[in-house]
Every structure is written in C-alpha cells, then in structure tokens.
Amino acid sequence: MRDVESMNNDLEAPDGGRVWFVTGTSSGFGRALAEAVLEHGDRLIATARDTSTISDLARTYPERARVLELDVTDRDRVSVVLEEAVSSFGRLDVVVNNAGYGLRGALEEFSEEELRRQFETNVFGVLGVTRAALPHLRRQRSGHVVQMSSVGGVVSTVGGGVYAGTKFAVEGISEALAKEVAHLGIRVTIVEPGPFRTDFAGRSMRRAEPIKDYAESVGQAHERFLAMDGAQPNDPARGARAIIQAVEAPEPPLRLPLGEEALRMIRAKLEEQRRELDAWERLSTTTAFTTGGPTGRE
C-alpha cells in the first residue's frame, strides 16, 4: 500500500509542470510525445543521437525544453545525461524509455551481431536509462517510469520474434519493477501500441538477410508489414496525449495498450492462453509429490 504523501505527489504537478525525460525523440512516437508534453505546458528533456533533429524544440520552447545528445547504448553517457537532465530543472517526474528500433526476419536469418545489437538497444538501453534514473526518483519519493513496449510485447508474430523478445523482456522486468518501487512513490506504466502512422514500418524497420526457404512464411509476413507503411490507422499525436492522460491519472495503469488493433490482438492472445490452460490443466497438475514425500519414491 502506497503512503498518502507519495500518492499526493502523483496528483499534484510541480510548479512549472512535470519534468519529462524522453529518449529517442527524433521521430515517430518519441517526437509526437515530445511535442505533446510541451503543448501540454510541461517541461521536457528531449534526447536523440543527433540533436540537430530536435533542436527546434528548444528554439520554440526555450524556457521549458532542453535537448541532449544520447545514444542509450553508451553506458557512461547515459549517467552523465541523467545528471544533466536533473540539473536542468531540478527534478525528474516522468522518464520515458522510447529509444529503440524494429528488426524483422526468421530466427535463423539473423547474424549474431544483429541479435546482440537489437537486445543492446531495446533491452539494455532501457535498463541503463531506468537504472540511472531510479536514484533520483527514489530521492524524490515520486516519479513515473514509462516503458514504450509494443503489442509485440504481448503477441509475437511471424518474422517479429526477435523484436518481440526484446519487448517481452522489457515487460517482464518492468512488471517486477513496478512492485519493487511502488512503496517509494514511483509508478511504472508499460505502453503497448499497435499500428501507428510513424516510420516504424518503413525507414526505421531493419530486415535480416532472407533465406529462400522462409519466403512463404516470414517473407510474405514481411511484405504485408511493409504494405502498412503510411496507412496505419492510428495517430501518434493522439497516442501521445493518451500517454500523458494515463500518467496524470490518480491510479495509472501498469499496462496501456494503444489502438483498437492492439486491444483486439491482446485479448485474443489471452483468450487463447486461457483455453490452452484449461485444456492441459489435468496434465499440468500431475507434478506434486505423492504421499511418499520429497524422496522421489512412490
């Protein structure tokens, strides 16, 4: 049970608005969220590997926006940037781990380097930023960590297994983190977007070198995925505003699917899991020790 003081910290924004720290703001959801935060009247530390892509944010909102260069795979730089972020406005209220990229292909098609690079950015990058931010949030006894996952963090699809693996990892870690820090006044929300009209399905998506035998499964799935580019049904600006609304809620959700498609896919996955649990319950429950005890003898 959270104490009253920490709950009040969530309900009352600090003077000047909340201070958001958002990674990967050069494009897509990160950019949309950065703009929405500033339009909402809050303060922002926006990061990107190339600050020229976000320098306009500081020019447009000189009193409320700071831009910092950050590659989340650079461990030493992560710590330095978090210190700079706290110095900018004196506190951190919302830390958003958005930096990452997509990777598609059959498991066999990936090189070892591609696999490790994907996990280095999408998992260890998230861990590095989260771990560097937590001491500041603990000291404040308040704050909110927002992890940008995906519907792929719940439902793994053909050709998306490695990317989904990174998001499954972030979800599992973050679910535990939420329970570890709740008594400190820190909240955690995992955002699970479905298809949004960003460049994720186009320029930002990386494809492994194809193997011909996977053309009928992974190849066809990849073509369908690419065909969505520019035609995704959901608006990132509206998704960003939904994230802000969730953060401001008195009791924010642990998980926030975004888009009807995400809700439909997640519900179908959960229903399928329940059916399988029920179908195999009899076998699943045959593993307890018999009356002979834990000796292994029956």
Positions marked catalytic: 149, 163, 167
Q: What is the rounded CA–CA span in Å between residue 187 and residue 245?
A: 14
- Matching residue, tokens 């990892």: 169
Task: Write the CA distances from 290 to 5, 65, 175, integer angstroms.
Answer: 50, 65, 34
Q: What is the rounded CA–CA span in Å between residue 25 and residue 271?
A: 35
